[in-house]
Structure 1
């Protein structure tokens, strides 16, 4: 395997790629996955869109603003000018991006890539210590940060990092700097396999894992999952809740719509009910969010505001069949479920329309291959649980991290999920491999217990983990959010336990139940089971 000659003067990323022997196998089976050796994904997504469809097409919408494709191109070019002319950015330098989902964050992302830089988009809710750690790993040289979020970054103590705020009224603000530029920029001709972005995995314990993705990878997700499953149209309006720091959000809210000349509504923050209002107000047709939000929209009685939707996509955690069925009954819409990974950049197993089987994640997305294997790497028979293994045009490349050998085995990406494949080739989620609860010799999947609890009318949300127990090793413990008016007492505990016994195998019922007002979730809606496991361990005994 050989890489193309790099356009990066700063070779930090290429120098820290895993050795080829530790890469997963890559496949480019579809004709649309044939990319030229020189490729800048920002040019393909933005400059080419303006040439193809004109500068006046609506592109980035907000509740109060509207940018055309021409507006975004001009601002992205101005950002690239500021980076190179004012800040001395060289191709290959890493740029930290920090802020909520809004047009200037998108312009900054495109500007970094146009200049040949590497985008390191971070969660706006991260604190100083976390930001310092990400900076230490990625060695960013410039930070473009929403002016409302600079405090934690300034407190992070990041030597050598030039911080430029945007969206404020300071003399040094990026938006003011951009206004002084003419918007004419000569794009850097990066290699298709130059690193375009570094994304950090969510939910990781210990040192965060940095995944490196090439320019061609960004387009490959659009040419697989988006093209073949989401099937966007040029007149679509996308929206959703995942932050752009999550690759689920980057794909669903930026890459996929711009790939076809569609528009996207960027929302900085919204409750599920407010999200439904915005869908109705702005004529949204494609929605990306987590199962929790779909459930909450139904609970709020707001599904009538979703009548304009054409496609609904769910990821971040498994979509319970009951939620799918309830949502379909209420709206007639079929939620597209999918599993992706930061290591793979986006979704690689999914299904749409008549191919959906509620409760199943789906089949490998065109361009990807998947199987279920045992610990020895050999395929297990259909119907038996094992580890999910996947290959395709994208794959795991950690930045200078020994955990590469854990994720990639025998050329396959091992995602850390336990799955069952049925005889028809559908993949059914069982649990994260570390969500398996071993109690008295029984293997119990926490998400399965969660699904059972969620079918009880008293329960609005729940999380299930293993709690240490002297007799059984572990017991199933449920953290439950009750509906208003339901008593958090022993009678309710017993009722929920009996309900689970009636719904799934009795030995899987939660022997411990704790009522809480809310569950720890990421900004993407993903349940943080690690936090619940730590809480259960701390309160055991």
Structure 2
């Protein structure tokens, strides 16, 4: 066992000699602070020393409620160096959910950005296992210690030696269908994502500048803006605020990234913003999308406007990053592409048997980035992790070219007239209509108690009307088939989403 198996040795410390002055992270807008690889190596070692001085022992958990700012990588990698397990948390949750997570994780310390402190304060002060609350910001609330004071005078500590299979960090799932689950990842998983998707699909290099709208506390964002660029010594742009289309475009223009990592809802909203505007000058060479399947129409319009493809892919918190994707020289919109090199895929029916080409099955994946399981969730462990295979909960078809076509989440699928209906297929048809910005399709029951599709639609502009609803129904009939059209259409100002931009269809089903 050697120290090199500690992920911090590979992602941080080796750069302190290879490229110490290279900027690893820079903040967009506002503070405009930056952090070099050499400084990150030094700062993270001091964090490790401060954790040890505070009595936070190896394998203890520390919660991170930290915005996308340079303190995030300092704390995350410092914890890994100390053998302490960082648990990055979604910064957009409620006080009650924070209370649940802090009790569930039994974190002994909380690192929190001052902006988020008012929301977590009550939960943090009530958490029975918290011994230290460290606040990042200009003020230090009562009962807490400032981040600078926590670090002051601490002796730097080198990365502890560990196995690649040792637990490194946790991520709590986004909770799109209920309370979040603690997903446990090992040191080797970070490098596995960098050597598969990062190197062989994204083909990221040291010269790249990456901007991700998904935040660092998400598996997708952590890969986009931390492990993938850090594997090659690239630069990541961090933004702590809400990534609205206007803000995102401003960041693209100001920071000039070469790789942009978005989500389908944002790509659609950004395109709508540019319907009558001039394309900004941005040196993009690649865009990627995950979180939800990318509608074909959005991908084609983005390529036509920017001249750059969106590589639509599929990942999960359980697999840490993308394992199924289109590639730069092999994009087919309307599909999720093929397995990322290093991963294996299966499509199975309810009995666990392989389905034939063209049939719908649940997607299972096998790869070295798989989680070590859920924390305190034995029943869900058994249902999700089957030996080397991980159940994704996604329904797919495989076409004659070996490409995977998304049909919907297992919980979203339903039968109409005895035939499986893919809500995503109906959504793709509707979003290709010029009046539609966003759409979600769920099942609802008619007067006879039979399941039929119902669509919730957000318009780009203009008034909703019964005439437009009828037009949209006819549009779907003509595009994908008469029996697939939504029997009901409800217009909405917005759709319920997780912080990653995933539409929370379970909430819409509850209303149907």
Q: TM-score range by the shorter chain?
A: over 0.9
**Conserved 8 A contact 2:48-2:156:** no
Q: 1:460 to 1:237 in 2, by over 3 A?
A: same
What is the correspondence of 1:215-226 to structure 2 with a 5 Å cutoff?
215-226=187-198
Distance 1:128 1:418 in 2: 34
Is 1:186–2:158 an aligned residue pair?
yes
Partner of 1:432: 409
| Counterparts of 2:404 and 2:503, CA distance in 1 | 21
Q: CA RMSD in A?
A: 1.8
| Shift, 1:305, TM fit | 2.3
Residue 70 (structure 1) aligns with: 38
Deviation at 1:459, TM superposition (A): 0.8
1:390-409 matches, within 5 Å, as 390-396=365-371, 397-401=373-377, 402-409=379-386
Deviation at 1:183, TM superposition (A): 6.3
Q: Aligned to 1:519, what secondary structure does the other structure show?
A: coil
Q: Which residue in 2 is equivalent to 1:308?
A: 283
Supply the distance in 1 between the matched residues of 2:27 and 2:162 (Cα, whole angstroms): 31
- Between the aligned partners of 1:388 and 1:37, the Cα distance in structure 2 is 36
In the aligned structure 2, how far is the partner of 1:460 from the partner of 1:332?
21
**Distance (whole Å) between structure 2 residues aligned to residue 444 and residue 79 of structure 1:** 52
1:333 paired to 2:333: no
Compare relative contact order (CA 8 Å, sep 6+) and give the higher one, 1 or 2: 1
Measured in 2, the distance between the counterparts of 1:136 and 1:473 equals 42
- Residue 263 of structure 1 and its aligned partner are, at CA, apart by 0.5
Q: Aligned partners of 1:303 and 1:69: how far apart in 2?
A: 36
The separation in 2 between residues aligned to 1:303 and 1:405, in whole angstroms, is 52
Identify the residue that residue 9 of structure 2 maps to in structure 1: 43
Contact 2:64-2:88 within 8 A present in 1 as well: yes
Contact conserved, 1:303 with 1:330, CA < 8 A, in 2? no
Question: Which residue pairs with 2:295 in the alignment?
Answer: 320
1:278 aligned residue (251, 262, 265): 251
Please report the TM-score for the alignment, with normalisation by the length of structure 1. Answer: 0.88
Is 290-299 or 178-187 further displaced after alignment? Answer: 178-187
Alpha carbons 2:313, 2:323 under 8 Å: kept: yes
Measure, in 1, the Cα distance between the counterparts of 2:427 and 2:305.
22
Query: Aligned pair in 2 of structure 1 residues 303, 253: CA closer, same or farther (>3 Å)?
Result: farther
Distance of 2:36 and 2:150 partners within structure 1: 17
Q: For 1:53-68, what aligned pairs fall within 5 Å after superposition?
A: 53=19, 55-63=20-28, 64-68=32-36
Matches within 5 A, 1:176-255: 176-177=148-149, 180-181=152-153, 184-255=156-227
- Cα offset, 1:242, TM superposition: 0.7
2:240 pairs with 1:259: no
CA offsets per residue over residues 402-457 of structure 1, 9 Å max, x none?
11121133642121111111222211111111111333433222111111110111
- Match among 403, 417, 437 for residue 394 of structure 2: 417
2:134 pairs with 1:164: yes
Supply the distance in 2 between the matched residues of 1:400 and 1:323 (Cα, whole angstroms).
40
User: Does residue 76 of structure 2 align to residue 109 of structure 1?
Assistant: yes
Between the aligned partners of 1:364 and 1:306, the Cα distance in structure 2 is 33
2:477 is aligned with 1:511: no
TM-score by length of 2: 0.93
Whole-Å separation in 2 of the counterparts to 1:178 and 1:261: 29
Aligned counterparts of 2:453 and 2:146: Cα–Cα separation in 1: 51
Residue 424 (structure 2) pairs with residue 447 (structure 1): yes
Contact 1:77–1:185 (CA<8 Å) still a contact in 2?
yes
Task: Could you tell me which runs of 5 or more consecutive residues in structure 2 were left unpaired when the two chains were aligned.
Answer: none
Q: Distance in 2 between matches of 1:240 and 1:394?
A: 20
Shift, 1:73, TM fit: 2.2
Runs of 4+ in 1 over 4 A off after TM superposition: none
User: For 2:421, what is the secondary structure of its paired residue?
Assistant: strand
2: CA distance, partners of 1:443 / 1:303: 43
Query: What's 1:17 paired with?
Result: none
CA distance in 1, matches of 2:278, 2:503: 23
Q: 1:374 aligns with which of 349, 354, 372?
A: 349
- Number of residues of Structure 1 aligned to a counterpart in Structure 2: 499
